[in-house]
Amino acid sequence: MHTSEKELSDKRQLKKFLNAKVDFYNQPSFIKDDPICIPHLFSKKQDIEIAGFFAAIFAWGNRTTIINKARELMQLMNMQPHKFCLNHTSGALKKLSAFKHRTFTADDLYYFTEFFQQHYSNHDSLETAFFPTKGMTVEEGLNHFKNYFFSFEHLKRTEKHVSAPMQKSTCKRLNMYLRWMVRADNKGVDFGIWKNINPADLICPLDVHVSRVARQYDLLHRKQDDWEAALELTSNLRILDKNDPVKYDFALFGTGVMENKL
């Protein structure tokens, strides 16, 4: 299809605008008001992974509440989530019995803790739970993770807290978590500690705020917010930056939430 000079000019303007927004939000000052501040409390890789995972899973609703509940959980785990999960006793688990965040209850937390104990008893990093081998796509990795995560005895209700592309979900929270773990740009926000997947292959986290802004900027045309929409948005973001498309999450989220341009 022939691309007109006006369309090329519009794309260049959009890229310039979004890059400026990325530069504005992708700064250490962004951390304190975002759930990513929770894994930033830690320096040990496994603590970062576990703290980040809980912060991402809790990430729906009010951001202040999300941060406070994730910090509360880390304190219940003695600010050593890896050690707590790996070595917890039945007595230690009782400390978690009153914990609740929206529909995430102590029963769910017990299973998550049990999963981490099982996984970290055999693996050094949570990365292998998503990407046991190099060359997997994010879609393959997220589907694999869902199956692996619930491969131990569990309550059916707990399954709602972990989404997967095979359910047509946008997987917003897990894609956000992957952004935190995989992107490495030395700006101080994302960690870049996982290497089995390239930042170029990440999928943009898609929620109601991001999707509205993306449609406003003609980056998303699909009507419903689902896995296909996340793929479409990311494909269009790759046109702007093929090596790091998900950096534009900062721009779209910042415009949609921080500036309330909904």
pTM: 0.94
Q: What is the mean pLDDT of the chain?
A: 93
Indicate the angle between helix axes 106-120 and 45-57, nearest 10 degrees: 150
Q: Which of 75-79, 135-139, 172-176, 253-257 has the lowest mean pLDDT?
A: 253-257
pLDDT digits (tens, 9 = 90+) for 151-188: 988 889 989 999 999 999 999 999 999 999 999 998 99
Determine the average pLDDT of the residues in 38-57: 98
pLDDT digits (tens, 9 = 90+) for 30-44: 999 999 999 999 999
Confidence check: pLDDT of 262 > 50 = no
Confidence check: pLDDT of 1 > 50 = no
Confidence check: pLDDT of 61 > 70 = yes
pLDDT digits (tens, 9 = 90+) for 211-260: 999 999 999 999 999 999 999 999 999 999 999 999 999 999 888 776 65
- The alpha carbon torsion through 7, 13, 18, 23 (nearest 10 deg) reads 150
The pLDDT value recorded for residue 108 is 94
- B/e letters for 43-82, b = 16+ CB within 10 Å, e = fewer, are eebbbbbbbbbbbbbbbeeeeeebbebbbebbebbeebbb
How far, in Å, CA of 115 to CA of 194, rounded? Answer: 20
Determine the average pLDDT of the residues in 21-37: 96
pLDDT digits (tens, 9 = 90+) for 190-205: 999 999 999 999 999 9
